Amino acid sequence: MTNPAHDAIKAEIENNDVVLFMKGTASMPQCGFSSRVAGVLTYMGVPFKDVNVLADESLRQGIKEFSDWPTIPQLYVKGEFIGGCDIVTEMTLSGELDKLFEEKGIPFDKEAADRIREANA
């Protein structure tokens, strides 16, 4: 039996190189963790699709089942589940996120990424 929420999630991930499933939108985040990840991506100039899970309860529950990850936000890059706020923060500070974007051909502002690391050193 197909799951409409899973189908919608799969379509977003397949049709967008970078997708952030979050509470609220990039311009109006509804939680601090979603705000942090959207802020990092925006600051680094990464083009991404924001999907507001609060707009649809089946989507909110569905993304947790889809990724087998209990929390939101959730970041996907080129179809691959990357993680939530803590993982994205760690990857940003370690430079792993830069490497991932470079490997996947995702445009980003390397200088902005360096400034984030300098500010958090």
User: Which pTM does this prediction carry?
Assistant: 0.96
DSSP 79: T
The closest alpha carbon to 54, from 30, 20, 32, 85, belongs to 30
Q: Walk along the chain (121 residues) and give the pLDDT tens digit of each residue.
A: 688 999 999 999 999 999 999 999 999 999 999 999 999 999 999 999 999 999 999 999 999 999 999 999 999 999 999 999 999 999 999 999 999 999 999 999 999 999 999 999 8
What is the tally of helices (H) and strands (E) in the chain? 6, 4
Q: Which residues are annotated as a binding site for [2Fe-2S] cluster?
A: 31
Q: Where are the domains of the chain?
A: 4-119
List the binding residues.
31
**CATH topology for 4-119?**
Glutaredoxin (3.40.30)
